[in-house]
Structure 1
């Protein structure tokens, strides 16, 4: 920035340390840990950050940490990586870095995110020692993203209290190495959990009129609730109710007196998301009441939509153009997956960027997220480091780049 050859400095850093960073990623991949159990991962990060002359501060929940780089007399920009793994079996039979932990795997790329942020912190520490960092960068190595609760621990400990802007990236196997996906506005969805329990008179299937016929009522609920919501909610909100478990009865000729359905609620509009519990409750009561069934709704909040701030996306665009080239930038579609980075961008401006991880010019099938076969082209570590370093410096040179008014994008309907 400011006339310095940032790309050249990054290339020189990676020339010296890229293989070291790949080895670090592979070590994490071999030793994945679930949310709030990332003790080894946290210890390895503390060790490497201290070696770089930094002072990592662990979170009080026992895993995860934050670490400041640079002077505290300017703006503060945060960069976040999630460090937890998934309860899945690693199915990469031939990979030398296959998980050694039964039933646990880094199948969502968090080991890559963590390594990228570590490399970014080490590089920025060098910049700070050379007097080339115009503010402070806070590295956030967050636990338990897959549990949708790790971000709340960071916020509860006020580790974001003095931060002006925040950035994060996420692996995207639908993009090839060297591509980054940007989007203004909602990029990931709110994601909640619902459990519907019906109760009523059971009885013989020969006399359904003497029962509440909960099996029939449950069938109506799993089909009618999504249908009614599609007419009660603006379709641009993309409110989606999908059932994952439906259970009723144990005998073919007996109508049960209890039934249950469980599923998820996803939404791209924060206003619709906040109104969803009451609306779904009303629709359930209406449908179940016709059959004389009692209905009990358990609605568990997950995360709100992740809404990318326009100024933050512009900074990412500038950063990518400056370091990896404007032709690397592509528009990324909205996802109905949940991401607890959303809690951060509810508080301060920020943006999530998609990082291409698929091998270019390859006939390999796409190795999708949340599958035991997931893997990445490890050169994506260097690309991701370019993006985060340049984004942080862009924001710092602009003094944090705070918008004059709080963003209201999360209250608006997404624009196609």
Structure 2
């Protein structure tokens, strides 16, 4: 199950792996702007002799062709950064782009997959099948995976595997349980239209601020009183814009929020209830409501056979003590679009170490990783591909 040459190669290239991660961290690029990162990945793969093609406008799809016939397994890494200001100014590899930062670990993912590709290339004649490499843009805006699927990333793929570095888990630990891993992530906007007027004559107006406030308070009962308590779900109002001036009764109110859950029926129910609540609250006050509901990423549900293989590979490569049972998160991940095309799984690799100050939450300005976790992730990528093709 474990290829000794892969382990040896990952260790041999550990220094390069760290330098790659630091390079990407210093030079973050936002979603659909990963032009320099894309060019670097292409150049790196070309040196390895790996066939690749750029996707539009950014991203790379490549294939390591094995020396023997067999199936095709895909390995995915995302590449985009966030609009977050780096607070780790003392780091020698701190972001040089003001207001941009790899605050989620995608710099680590890209680096790990490049080194995994290097290790797999060295044993490609032994591979009974092919390894598809997906360097994906725009995960943070939940549109990259779907676009790469449209551009052929999953054509001919029998299984897909992805990794996310995880600061909430101890360094080196690996978690990949069958079933739910990441929640679906939807966005909604509710617009209320009332009738504005002078603050001194409220009886002649329909106050959109009152309507919106009533909706915000009441809509929380969609989860607490209409969803099965054994079905995890979150409905969050993140933004509300109401009114223009202190003595003018608001005519319009705009509310934005998100819905997270794991069950498709629960997802549909919340969407319908949200629209129902908006209409009914507006009707009470004589206002009008419009709901725009955008379905984002689907829930990431790990295939049982694939997740079990990840656990076996991790235990064989790093010892039984490496396995960790991280609970499903309400965070979203567009890896779900790949799972719509083939079975697969999504693993978490711990990078949290309080002694190195790497326990900060993802998307925080002080987020950083314990770089000792990089070799764990790179080897897990490569060993999983080897094990799947030989399984």
Is contact 2:71–2:130 with CA below 8 Å preserved after alignment? yes
Aligned to 1:67: 62
1:123 aligns with 2:119: yes
Distance 1:178 1:201 in 2: 58
Aligned to 2:136: 142
Match of 1:221 among 200, 215, 235: 215
Match of 1:21 among 17, 20, 26: 17
Q: Report Cα offsets for 1:345-376 as digits up to 9, x if no partner.
A: 1221111111111237x273622210121111
1:50 aligns with 2:46: yes
Cα distance, 1:158 vs structure 2:
2.3
Summarize the alignment of residues 322-401 of structure 1 with structure 2, pairs less than 5 Å apart: 322-359=316-353, 362=355, 364=357, 366-398=359-391
Q: Report Cα offsets for 1:315-341 as digits up to 9, x if no partner.
A: 101110110111100111111111100
TM-score of the superposed pair, with normalisation by structure 2? 0.95
Is contact 1:42–1:65 with CA below 8 Å preserved after alignment? yes
Q: Report Cα offsets for 1:28-49 as digits up to 9, x if no partner.
A: 1111111111111111111111
Distance 1:204 1:363 in 2: 57
Q: Report Cα offsets for 1:188-210 as digits up to 9, x if no partner.
A: 11111111111122334454444
Cα distance, 1:159 vs structure 2:
2.0
Cα distance, 1:151 vs structure 2:
0.5
Q: Report Cα offsets for 1:200-226 as digits up to 9, x if no partner.
A: 223344544443222111111011012
Which 10-residue stretch deviates more, 319-328 or 63-72? 63-72
Aligned to 1:410: none
Distance 1:343 1:194 in 2: 20
SS of equivalent to 2:324: strand
Summarize the alignment of residues 208-247 of structure 1 with structure 2, pairs less than 5 Å apart: 208-247=202-241
Root-mean-square deviation (CA, aligned residues, Å) is 1.7
1:193 aligns with 2:194: no
Is contact 1:193–1:262 with CA below 8 Å preserved after alignment? yes
Gaps of 5+ in 1: 399-416
Distance 1:11 1:158 in 2: 31
Which 10-residue stretch deviates more, 229-238 or 48-57? 229-238
Aligned to 2:306: 312
1:112 aligns with 2:108: yes
Cα distance, 1:307 vs structure 2:
0.9
Is contact 1:26–1:97 with CA below 8 Å preserved after alignment? yes
SS of equivalent to 1:336: coil
TM-score of the superposed pair, with normalisation by structure 1? 0.90
Is contact 1:324–1:386 with CA below 8 Å preserved after alignment? no
Distance 2:377 2:266 in 1: 33
Distance 1:90 1:205 in 2: 43
Distance 2:27 2:179 in 1: 35
Aligned to 1:38: 34
Cα distance, 1:10 vs structure 2:
3.3
Aligned to 1:182: 176
Cα distance, 1:9 vs structure 2:
2.3
Is contact 1:273–1:304 with CA below 8 Å preserved after alignment? no
Aligned to 2:263: 269
